[in-house]
Amino acid sequence: MVGNREVQDDDLVVVNPFRRTCQVLAPLVVMALLSLTGCAAEDDDVTLSSAAADGRAIAREAGCVSCHGADGSGRVGPAWKGLAGSTVLLEDGASVVAETDYLIRSIVDPDADLVRGYTVRMPSNTLSLEEVASVVAYIEELQ
């Protein structure tokens, strides 16, 4: 008897808490995995020089794509696509052309030239100058 209702054997439902947890978590895990695989391969069909391809791999491994986008389209950090050769407005009101020296300086010393409109600061990194050169080659080829 439950409340004022008589319970029959076929009325009983056994709830497996593990099953319910799986039902809730499975779609979340699938979505997370799909987003990660999509993130890593958005620009894989772009033809790049070997230095730029190395730069793309370094940017992925170092986590740069988390802010600049897997294909360079930008996120919380400035877009890399079309950046090379463009004029960049800085936080202090100045502007600079994104040539090779600017790109290197921006990676080696992220606080040197802060881009207007981006409140998230780029963290320092431990990339070697050779790795920085490869990442710059990648940025320069993203048009």
Structural domain contains residue 126: yes
The number of folded domains in the chain is: 1
Cβ atoms within 10 Å of 56's Cβ, excluding its own: 26
Q: Is 121 helix (H, G, I), strand (E, B) or coil?
A: coil
| Higher per-residue confidence, 143 vs 137 | 137
Is residue 27 one of the residues assigned to a domain? no
Confidence label for 133 from pLDDT (cuts 50, 70 and 90) = very high
**Domain contains 90:** yes
Looking at residue 110, which CATH number applies to its domain? 1.10.760.10
**In this structure, is residue 120 part of a structural domain?**
yes
Mean pLDDT score of the chain, rounded to an integer? Answer: 81
Residues spanned by the domain of 69:
45-141
The answer, yes or no, to whether residue 128 has pLDDT greater than 50, is yes
Q: Which residues are 96's β-sheet partners?
A: 88
CB contact at 8 A, 72 and 142: yes
State residue 5 phi and psi, 5-degree precision.
-115, 135
Is 104 domain-assigned?
yes
Residue 56 contacts residue 40 (beta carbons within 8 Å): no
pLDDT, tens digit, 9 for 90 and up, residues 39-79:
444 556 678 999 999 999 999 999 999 999 988 899 999 99
The answer as to whether 96 is a domain residue is yes
Q: Is residue 68 part of a domain?
A: yes
Instruction: Give domain status of residue 65, yes or no.
Output: yes
The β-bridge partners of 89 are: 95
Distance CA 121, CA 95 (A): 18
